[in-house]
Chain A
Amino acid sequence: MPWGLLKYGFSKKYPARQDIPPNKELKNSYDVIIIGGGGHGAAIAYHLARYHGITNVAVLDKGYIGGGNTARNTAVIRSNYITPESVDFYKESVELYKQLSNELGYNMLYSQRGQLTLAHSDASMRTFRLRAEVNKQCGVRSEMVDREQIRELVPCLNLDKNARYPIIGGLWHKDGGTARHDSVAWGYAMRASQLGVEFHQRTEVTDIKQSNGRVTGVVTNRGTVNCKDVVQAVAGMSTIVAKMAGIQLPIRTFPLQAMVTQPLKPFVDPLVSSAALHCYISQTARGEIVIGGGSDPYELYSTRSSLDLKEGLIGHLLEMFPFLSEVKLLRQWTGMTDMTPDYSPIMGETPLQNYWIDGGWGTWGFKATPIAGKRMAETVARGRAPDQIRPFSLSRFRTYHLSNEAGATAASH
C-alpha cells in the first residue's frame, strides 16, 4: 500500500464511516419500541421510518445487532411452500430480496441460482406435484424434474439406484437463492438509524409494563422506557418475552445446528435439499459448502452443538455427495429456533392492544425478513394486521385454523 494513502486515514476530511451510532442514553419515551435487533427488528424499524414516517423508534437488543439467528442461518431464500397463503407471502419476500441491494444501497450478495429438492419416495413425489401446482398457480417458478434433469442440474450428485435412499425425482424451484445474512441486518439497521431510529445494543428487556390491557413501557437493564407501541421480534426467546407481557404462545424452542466446510472450487450451482435425509447444502461465493440443518430432538435454550447431530448430518451429506468425505469442516454452530405446531409464523395482534408479535420463525424466517419488516410496520402504523398476514395470527390456534407447512418446511429451508 502506498504510504501516501495513510494520510487520508488520519485526515478529518475523511472521517471513518460509522454505520450505526454507538449507544446514547435511552430516552424516557418512544413511539415504538422494538424488542430484538435481528434482521426482523431492523427491517420493521426501517419500514416504520421510511414508509410510515414513524422515526421516534428504539430497537433494543440484549446482545448485538444481528447476533441471533440472523447471524446463524444458512441463508436459503425460496417461496416453494405448499399453502397458497404462504406461497403468496414468501413470493413477495423473494421479490423484495431481488431489489434489496438497491433499496438499501448496500450489497446483499443476493444470488438467485435455483433450489433443487430431492424426492426419495412416492409420498414425496406426490407432495412435490401438489407444491409445483400450487406454486405455478401463485406465479412461483416450480416444476417436477426427473433423474435425467437432476443429473444435468447437479452432475456430481449421487444418483446411484443402489443407494440407501435412491433419488427418484425432484422439485426444481428457479426462484430459490441466497443472500448475505449479515448484510441484511446491517443494511436495514444502517438505513433505519440514518432516518432517526435508535439502536441500543446490550440492552435487555426484563419486564413489560401494562395497564388496562395496554402496554405502557418496558423495563430494561438500563432503566424503564415508556412507549405507545411494542413489537417483539426475538426468535428463540419469543416465549420468554411474551410471558413478560402475560401472553402464552404455542412455541417450543429447539436448537438448530449447521456447519460450513473449507472453500472448494465451484462444483454445485443450485441449492440442493433432501427432506428425507434432513440435509441441505449450498456453495457460497467463496466456495465453502454450507450444510444445514439438524434440529435437536428435544427442547433447549442453548446454542451448544452436539457431535451426534453433526455426525448424522454429515452421514446424510455423504449419501448425496460421497466425494466430500475428505473435506475439512471450517466452522460449526447452533441457533435457538422458535418452533410453531404448524411451521407457520405468528404475526400481528396479541391479546394486548398495542403489543405486536413477530415470532414463531423457527428454522425458516431469514427468507421472510423483508416482507416481515414491511407487514409488521404496516401493522403498527395502522393498528391492524394487513390481510396478507392474517392467516398467521396468534388467534388461529384458538379457532383451530392452523396453516400447515410441515411438509414444505421441515429441513428444506
Chain B
Amino acid sequence: MKIMHCPLNGPRNISEFAPGGEVTRMPEPSLTSDEAWADYIWMHNNHAGVVTEWWCHVPTSYWFIAERNTITDEIIRTYPASQLYTERMNFEQNAENK
C-alpha cells in the first residue's frame, strides 16, 4: 500500500485519502464571463510533472495540500492549506443579488 503523509494524522494508507483536484484560484463570479467561467469549471492543466493539489483525509475530513509527480507517482510533500492561504478569501457579493 502506498503511504501518504497527512499533515494532521501522520503517515496513512493512500486509500484513506481522496484527491480534490489542482489548486487553482476561483475567479470572482460577478466579474467573470460565461466562457471564462466554463473554462474555470471544465478545463484542466492535466500536467505531466509536479502538480500542487488539494487532498482530503476522508476519515477526519481534513483538507490539505500535496505536491506530487504525475509521471513517477511520487508524493513530494504535503502541508496544511494555511501555508498557501494566509488570509480569508472574500468574494464580492454576486452582482445580481446586490
Using a CB–CB cutoff of 8 Å, the interface residues on chain A facing chain B are 239-240, 248-253, 297-302, 304, 306-308, 341, 397-400
A-B contacts, 6 of them at CB < 8 A, read A250-B44, A253-B70, A297-B18, A301-B71, A308-B15, A397-B43
Closest 10 pairs between A and B when the two form their complex, measured CB to CB: A239-B46, A250-B42, A298-B19, A397-B42, A301-B48, A248-B43, A398-B38, A301-B71, A252-B44, A252-B46
Known: A239-B44, A239-B45. 16 other contacts (CB 8 A): A240-B48, A248-B39, A248-B43, A249-B43, A249-B44, A249-B46, A253-B48, A299-B46, A300-B70, A301-B70, A301-B71, A302-B73, A306-B2, A307-B1, A398-B35, A398-B39
Q: Are B70 and A308 in contact (CB under 8 A)?
A: no
| B37, closest chain A residue (CB) | A400
Flag whether B72 is at the interface (Cβ < 8 A).
yes
Q: Are B19 and A297 in contact (CB under 8 A)?
A: yes
Nearest Cβ on chain A to B75's Cβ, whole angstroms: 10
Query: B2 contacts which chain A residues (CB < 8 A)?
Result: 306, 308
Query: A341 contacts which chain B residues (CB < 8 A)?
Result: 42
Q: Are A304 and B42 in contact (CB under 8 A)?
A: no
A181–B77 Cα distance when bound, in Å, is 40
A298–B72 Cα distance when bound, in Å, is 13
- Report the interface size for chain B: residues with CB under 8 A from the other chain: 21
Query: B51 contacts which chain A residues (CB < 8 A)?
Result: 299
Q: Are A400 and B46 in contact (CB under 8 A)?
A: no
| A399, closest chain B residue (CB) | B38
A301–B19 Cα distance when bound, in Å, is 16
A59–B35 Cα distance when bound, in Å, is 34
Which residues between 1 and 41 of chain B lie within 8 Å of chain A, taking CB atoms? 1-2, 14-15, 18-19, 34-35, 38-39
Query: A251 contacts which chain B residues (CB < 8 A)?
Result: 44, 46
A341–B43 Cα distance when bound, in Å, is 9
Query: B35 contacts which chain A residues (CB < 8 A)?
Result: 398
| B46, closest chain A residue (CB) | A239
Query: B46 contacts which chain A residues (CB < 8 A)?
Result: 239, 249, 251-253, 299
Q: Are A299 and B1 in contact (CB under 8 A)?
A: no
| B36, closest chain A residue (CB) | A398
Query: B72 contacts which chain A residues (CB < 8 A)?
Result: 302
A248–B18 Cα distance when bound, in Å, is 25
Of A253, A304, A399, which contacts B73 at CB under 8 A?
A304
Query: A302 contacts which chain B residues (CB < 8 A)?
Result: 70-73
Nearest Cβ on chain A to B79's Cβ, whole angstroms: 18
| A338, closest chain B residue (CB) | B46
A248–B41 Cα distance when bound, in Å, is 13
Query: A248 contacts which chain B residues (CB < 8 A)?
Result: 39, 43
Query: A250 contacts which chain B residues (CB < 8 A)?
Result: 42-44
**Which of A297, A299, A302, A397: most chain B CB closer than 10 A?**
A299
A301–B15 Cα distance when bound, in Å, is 19
A252–B42 Cα distance when bound, in Å, is 10
Query: A301 contacts which chain B residues (CB < 8 A)?
Result: 48, 70-71
Nearest Cβ on chain A to B91's Cβ, whole angstroms: 21
Query: A308 contacts which chain B residues (CB < 8 A)?
Result: 1-2, 14-15
